[in-house]
Structure 1
Amino acid sequence: MADFPQIHAAWQRRRALVREQRLDAWRLVHGAADGMEGLSVDDYRGRYLITVEAEAWLEDRAGLEAALAEVQEELRPAFAPKFYWVANLPKQRGALPGEEIDRFEVVEDASRFEVHLGEGPHTGLFLDQRENRREVCKLAKGRRCLNLFCHTGAFTVAALQGGASEAVSVDLSKNYLAWLERNLELNELEDRPHRSVASDAAAYLERAARGGEVFDLVILDPPTFGRGKGSTFSTIRDYGRLLAACLQILSPSGRILACLNTRKVAAEEFRDFLKEAAKTARRKVLRRPAPPPDFPETAGAPGALKAYWIA
């Protein structure tokens, strides 16, 4: 890996993690934290999602792929790697020409998830939430769980795997809710107490409060920006009212996993915001979970994901 020694170094730092946890899906390169600012590489069972935020990384695609193939040779010698490039540049966004779309399953601990490569930056599974899914699984037993902006339902799977008494999953996208149902089937959870609700999150929370519904575990993980029927959603603008509504339907011993995924807000700023909101509701912010080891943070390269538990 003479041309890209940083990739070799990144693999050396993660080799034990990947092998000990038998990870199917994990991050090999995490931008500046691995000495490769503007580049991230995720491995999904030998299919590599390469996201570039600096044009320089497009100058030697073949060389970069060759370096990744060397990792693949050690990790999965019987499987030829595939490479899926995504641009996140000012004048170019989305999937770049290359491999055909691939849809397959990955395993995380005891759970199976359907993922898609070749359709853009989103695969159906957010790898940086792995440790939070594990925590939800540990906390879920006997609890009624609400998963807002549920996407493809990874947190719902985690809650039901952990023994949640019921899970309610809310998302505007019927496509994502159908994907969630497939994930439940993959894990033989389709007969567990669960409801999928195609709704705007704020509207659902209003209905839940009017109906006297109470939840013991709430996952609030909105997208940075969304568009629904006749309205738009902005995390920075609308997070406060969503959090207040979640606190209103939280049981006395309940917990909220509050997530924010943007580099525009520092972790400390988000924490202080949550503390003020929690104080008003006589709750408290517990802690910020550590990111997965394959998503290292440094002072000069803070992560986009911020997550805190509120109780």
Structure 2
Amino acid sequence: MIALLTPQHWKDYELIDCGDFEKLERFGDAILIRPEPQAVWAKVLPEKEWQRLHTIKFKGRSATSGEWIKKDKNAADRWHIDYKNNDVAIKFRLGLTSFKHVGIFPEQAVNWDYISERVRSFKTESPKVLNLFAYTGGASLIARAAGADTTHVDSIRQVVTWANENQDISGLDNIRWVVEDALKFVKRELKRGKKYNGIILDPPAYGHGPNGEKWKLEDHISEMMQDVVQLLDPDEHFLILNTYSLGFSSVIVENLIKSAYPQVQNLQTGELYLQATSGIKLPLGVFGKFYKNR
């Protein structure tokens, strides 16, 4: 059965509305308008309400970059928000980047809850968790806060530095930081005979490694999955695969997982979305996840 999942009870984040290829979001006290290619429908709230509510708006100069227009010129470019669930609490440093991102993908909070629940359920002491394509580290922070021995891998040094800052303001330590192409790292870990109790993959549709390695989701994800499942501890584990590619469905993700790991248990696939307070739903990726306990 395909699941539809959205974050719940997050006081510091709110999707207010979306439509006409934009989204209106609140991160703490900042209310942003950003482009959203998935929002092909009309806005629910009137345009004048969007203009009244927002404090900062992203204006694109091209398909890949732009600038932020502030109502208040003194508004901060960086600020902090909190996230907590029944198990753990963490903090993020957000920032206005030239690529419309602010350093967090809010829909991933559903997966963060899954991670903390699974880590806390394991009998293994200090279970090992590997976060690939790890960005600014939401999943890494959650895993570490829940008690996992955590390794964070991303190919961009600047975002690993950002993730390290998030670790500091969250009062955490000892996450292992790795700046490397994810596929290369996985193959090296296989040669070393390493095993992990949890693995998180959040690959982009396109990307580049630190040495110019090219990543294209549809070309490399099958190889990645075939390799990464060999790193799973056979007795106690979880794995999350999340994809943002518009061409991917949850059935594709299901097939990828079953092909790579036929003995899979407790498999769940579906779609992540954000529920706007205006009533509309914004789909933001498909996922597959599974676990095994002792």
TM-score computed with the length of structure 1 as normaliser = 0.75
Select the residue among 262, 278, 285 that pairs with 2:245: 262
2:123 maps to none
Corresponding residue number in structure 2 for 1:148: 132
Supply the AA of the counterpart residue of 2:55: K
**Large movers: runs of 4+ above 4 Å:** none
What does residue 207 of structure 2 align with? 226
Instruction: Tell me whether 1:113 sits opposite 2:95 in the alignment.
Output: no
Q: 1:248 to 1:209 in 2, by over 3 A?
A: same
- Which residue in the other structure is 1:277 paired with? 260
AA matched with 1:200: D
CA contact (8 A) 1:84 1:117 kept: no
- Counterpart CA distance in 1 for 2:219 and 2:161 is 29
Partner of 2:229: helix, strand, or coil? helix
Query: Letter of the aligned partner of 2:90 in structure 1?
Result: S
Greater Cα offset, 153-162 or 138-147 = 138-147
How far apart, in 1, do the equivalents of 2:65 and 2:266 lie? 36
Q: Are the counterparts in 1 of residues 127 and 196 from structure 2 also a CA contact under 8 Å?
A: yes
Q: 2:33 aligns with which of 34, 41, 50?
A: 50
Shift of 1:263: 1.4
Evaluate the alpha carbon distance shift between residue 117 and residue 217 of structure 1 in structure 2; reply closer, same or farther with a 3 A threshold: same
Equivalent of residue 143 in structure 2, options 156, 159, 162: 159
**Are 1:306 and 2:286 counterparts?**
yes
User: In the alignment, does 2:44 pair up with 1:95?
Assistant: no
**Structure 1 residues 224, 306: closer, same or farther in 2, change over 3 A?**
same
Structure 2: gaps of 5 or more residues: 1-5, 41-45, 121-125
Matches of 1:265 and 1:293, distance apart in 2: 18
Q: Which whole-Å CA distance do the structure 2 matches of 1:278 and 1:86 have between them? A: 44
Aligned to 2:43: none
Conserved 8 A contact 2:134-2:152? yes
Q: What is the CA-CA distance between 1:180 and the residue it aligns to?
A: 1.1
* Bigger relative contact order, structure 1 or 2 (CA pairs below 8 A, ≥6 apart): 2
Identity fraction in percent: 18
Is 1:169–1:195's contact at 8 Å kept on the other side of the alignment? yes
Structure 2 CA distance for aligned equivalents of residues 208 and 221 of structure 1: 18
* Matched residue, 2:14: 26
Alignment gaps of 5+ in structure 1: 1-16, 31-35, 58-62, 73-80
Amino acid at match of 2:290: I
- Aligned 8 A contact 2:16 2:26 in 1: yes
Match of 1:250 in 2: 232
Kindly state the Cα deviation for residue 25 of structure 1 after the two structures are TM-superposed.
1.9
Give the letter aligned to residue 28 of structure 1.
I
TM-score (norm 2): 0.79
Q: Assess, with a 3 A threshold, how the Cα gap between structure 1 residues 264 and 129 changes in structure 2: closer, same or farther.
A: same
Question: Which residue of 1 is the match for residue 114 of structure 2?
Answer: 135
Taking the aligned partners of 2:49 and 2:28, their CA distance within structure 1 comes to: 17
- How many residues are paired up? 263
Q: Which is helix-richer, 1 or 2? A: 1
Residue 119 of structure 2 contacts residue 143 of structure 2 at CA under 8 Å; is this kept in 1?
A: yes
1:177–1:22 CA distance, 2 compared to 1 (3 A): closer
- Distance in 1, Cα, partners of 2:194 & 2:159: 24
Q: Which has the larger radius of gyration?
A: 1
**Is the contact made by 2:112 and 2:142 (CA closer than 8 Å) also made in structure 1?**
yes
User: For residue 84 of structure 1, what is the aligned residue in structure 2?
Assistant: 57
Distance 2:252 2:201 in 1: 17
**Distance (Å, rounded) in 2 between the aligned partners of 1:94 and 1:103:** 18
Which letter maps to 1:147? N
> What is the CA-CA distance between 1:176 and the residue it aligns to?
1.0
CA distance in 1, matches of 2:113, 2:169: 18
Encode CA deviations 1:47-95: one digit per residue, 9 max, x unaligned: 23323358xx9xxxxx73x41466x5xxxxxxxx52222549xx64433
Q: Distance in 1 between matches of 2:179 and 2:58?
A: 31
Q: Secondary structure at the match of 2:246?
A: coil
Does 2:49 match 1:104?
no
How many Å apart are 1:148 and its aligned residue?
Answer: 0.6
Give the letter for the 1:162 counterpart. Answer: A
Contact 1:113 1:186 in 2 (8 A): yes
